[in-house]
Amino acid sequence: MAETAVAHDTHATSTGLSNVKLGMWLFLGSECLLFGGLISTYMLYRGRVANGPTPEQVYDIPFTSVSSFVLLMSSLTMVLAVTAAHKKDDRNTNLWLTVTALLGATFVGGQVYEFTAFYNEGLGFTTSLFGSSFYTLTGFHGVHVTVGIIMLLALVAINKRSRVPGSKSETVEMIGLYWHFVDIVWIIIFTLVYLIPV
């Protein structure tokens, strides 16, 4: 009912496509440049360890593998939320959005634990070029995931009050695109940063 009402609020565009969606894809394309720069900097500096531990001494591959798997599965729950939103199934949309936020929070919690463990092993932000580039890259990614979690929970809250502006399914889809993007960035980070040795 509400979905039918808001459908009349959308305006025709010259391309016949949603400007919001065009803007989101353009934003994600530009984000490739941001993360490309951070990943390249890490690749360049990962072997530069004058002080402190080396990557091999601090990385805990089994732990990071589990958190990577959790983030990967959050992409499945996100796409299920988008599917439910397209079917105008509010209950399942909220359910899958909440599960996605919880999986994301588990990933961020794992990252906080990892950073704490690395710091206790002597790897601070300014200990070495490796440390600086590692914390900057994974920290930026963690901030992106955190922003995604806030958007997911905010969407659940406003969806429960039926106050989502514009097309509800499109709003869920846009947040979904952002969420999947942070997942594909982690797919690259997991391989290049953790699995390929210096």
Task: Enumerate binding residues for another protein (CB under 8 A).
Answer: 7-8, 10-13, 15-18, 21-22, 25-26, 28-33, 35-37, 39-40, 43-44, 61-62, 65, 68-69, 72-73, 75-76, 78-80, 82-83, 86, 167, 169-170, 176-177, 180-181, 183-184, 187-188, 190-192, 195-196
Using CA atoms, how far apart are residues 56 and 58, in angstroms rounded to an integer?
6
> Residue 15 or residue 120: which is nearer to another protein going by CB?
15
- Cα separation of the two ends of the chain: 57
> Residue 143 or residue 188: which is nearer to another protein going by CB?
188
Cβ at position 118, least distance to another protein in Å:
18
> Residue 43 or residue 105: which is nearer to another protein going by CB?
43
> Residue 123 or residue 172: which is nearer to another protein going by CB?
172
* Positive or negative: CA dihedral 1, 79, 67, 144: negative
- 160: Cβ contacts below 8 Å, ≥ 6 apart: 94
Angle, nearest 10°, between helix axes 129-160 and 90-120? 160
